[in-house]
Structure 1
Amino acid sequence: MKNILLACSAGMSTSLLVSKMKEAAEEKGMEVNIWAVSQDKAPSEMEKADVLLIGPQMRFMKAKFSKTAEEVGIPLDVIDPVAYGRVDGEAVLNKALELMGE
């Protein structure tokens, strides 16, 4: 089971993206746990995740989250703005899997 964490300003704007990512994973026959949280909750949620993806509107938080991500041993990156804007669940899922070495 892969655990994919998404972080955005309030945890709301990524909820539709989470749904689309789950659909894409289901189509691939993958078991994944994907959830979104606000930027405040992201550091404590990282311990449960295999990867952290940050909403493009929060790219300025990457440096702050990098330290915690390094401590818990997970990769992180900013979600591609085009994939985010298109709510392209498959593209974002593929990016998460790539970061995890899948």
Structure 2
Amino acid sequence: MLNITLCCSAAMSTSLLVNKMMEEAQRQGIQMNVWAKAVREIEEETKDVDVILIAPQVKYAKKQIEKMVSPIPVIEISIKDYGLMNGKNIFNNILNILHQ
């Protein structure tokens, strides 16, 4: 089971992206949970999380989040993939980073 926290500004605009990522995980036969959280909620929401994704609008907080959640990997979502809601690219990027 892959557990992902998706960090955005208010944790409200990411439901479509979460759905697209879930579709890709299912297509690849991987079980996954994804939670969307605001930056202010990240520190208390890291139990059992494998990776934290950072939406482009909160890129400014990446270093702060990395300090709070170390050693959990923190991955920025590209603005292009976020804008296109490209769950496939984002999910595959997660897998590539976790398998390095």
TM-score by length of 2: 0.93
Structure 1 letter corresponding to 2:53: L
Q: What residue ranges of structure 1 are gaps of 5+ in the alignment? A: none
How many Å separate the matches in 2 of 1:78 and 1:9?
14
TM-score by length of 1: 0.91
Q: What residue ranges of structure 2 are gaps of 5+ in the alignment? A: none
How far 1:40 moved relative to its partner? 1.3
How far 1:44 moved relative to its partner? 1.1
Equivalent residue for 2:87?
Answer: 89
Indicate which of 74, 78, 81 corresponds to 2:76.
78
Moved beyond 4 Å, runs of 4+: none
What's the CA shift string for 1:11-70, capped at 9, x where partnerless?
012111001100111111111111211111111112231000110011000011011221
The percentage of aligned residue pairs carrying the same residue is 39
Q: How many pairs were matched up?
A: 100
- Asked if the contact 1:5/1:34 (under 8 Å) is kept, the reply is yes
